[in-house]
Amino acid sequence: MTTADFDYVREYVRVQAAIVLEPGKEYLVESRLHTLARHEKFASPDELVAQLRAKPQSDLHRKVVDAMTTNETSFFRDIHPFEALKKGLLPEIIKRNAESRQLNFWCGAASTGQESYSVMMTLAEHFPELLSWNFKYIATELCQDAMARAKAGRYSQLEVNRGLPATLLVKYFARQGAEWEFREDLRKRVDFREMNLIKEWVWMPPLDIVFLRNVLIYFDIETKKTILGKVRKLLRPGGYLVLGGAETTLNLDDGFERVAFDKTACYRVKQSSGKADQ
């Protein structure tokens, strides 16, 4: 692929999704474009890029952005945040919201859904009473293919082998041919919506817990700051932000404080900062 084509694609993806593809990622871009070119019946990635240039803002552009997203995820990924959820976050929030019986949860980079369904299994296993609360779970994602898979809640044997204990597989999934389908009653509780974190956000209620894991790593510093600022304003006092293992609010948004939970840390809006209202 020529440098000019690589630059065209990476600039488009940066503007549309804030995903930074540094020089040196030519191979990654080319191999993903290769798959897309074949799928869209172009003779080569070069021909696909030529079509992009000839017709700006086509459906093909959208597919290129989707193809450049990394949808890597698994059930109970990195386990510690789920332990923190079970032992710290949820017991605290259940106590605090006991009167209103309200819990609002947002997962901001849902990918193919394993993370959200891991949360739903945690709830159903350890806090089933929450399911009769006024409980809202919004899961958003940019990539349309990933979101369609998330909504369907169907996973291959290989996918359920990654992180899902056998006891939970048997309890919460039904075999459908070669795949495993997540239990419909819990699947329906997750409100999947398409959303680009750098464009207009869907309406969200004041949030108790935000899972925004393993997505800020793709963005530049200014984008991370803007997104964290928006999350801060959506969190209820005492609400928690959970980031990926390689992510932090440190040096990006000093309106958050780090709260340690055993082998992980979550983030809460500092009450003294006054930033919650800014």
Binding site for ligand SAM (CB under 6 A): 17-19, 69-73, 77, 109, 111, 115, 141-143, 146, 196-198, 213-215, 218, 244
- Between 97 and 111, whose beta carbon lies closer to ligand SAM? 111
Give the torsion through C-alpha atoms of 122, 126, 127, 129, to 10 deg.
Answer: 120
Distance separating alpha carbons of residues 121 and 115, to the nearest angstrom: 10
Distance separating alpha carbons of residues 182 and 207, to the nearest angstrom: 25
Least distance to ligand SAM, CB of residue 62, Å: 12
Least distance to ligand SAM, CB of residue 1, Å: 22
- Between 70 and 273, whose beta carbon lies closer to ligand SAM? 70
Least distance to ligand SAM, CB of residue 12, Å: 13
Task: Identify whether the C-beta of residue 186 lies closer than 8 Å to the C-beta of residue 172.
Answer: yes
Structure tokens given for 73 = 């995820």
Residue 67, C-beta contacts closer than 8 angstroms, at least 6 positions apart: 32, 33, 35, 36
Q: Strand, helix or coil at 181?
A: strand
Least distance to ligand SAM, CB of residue 39, Å: 17
- Between 73 and 249, whose beta carbon lies closer to ligand SAM? 73
Partnered with residue 135 across adjacent β-strands are 103
Structure tokens given for 276 = 């919650």
User: What DSSP state is assigned to residue 207?
Assistant: E
Least distance to ligand SAM, CB of residue 105, Å: 13
Distance of CA 134 to the CA centre of its chain: 23
- Between 72 and 277, whose beta carbon lies closer to ligand SAM? 72
Q: Where are the alpha helices (DSSP H) in 189-239?
A: 221-234
- Between 194 and 254, whose beta carbon lies closer to ligand SAM? 194
- Between 94 and 265, whose beta carbon lies closer to ligand SAM? 265
Least distance to ligand SAM, CB of residue 226, Å: 11
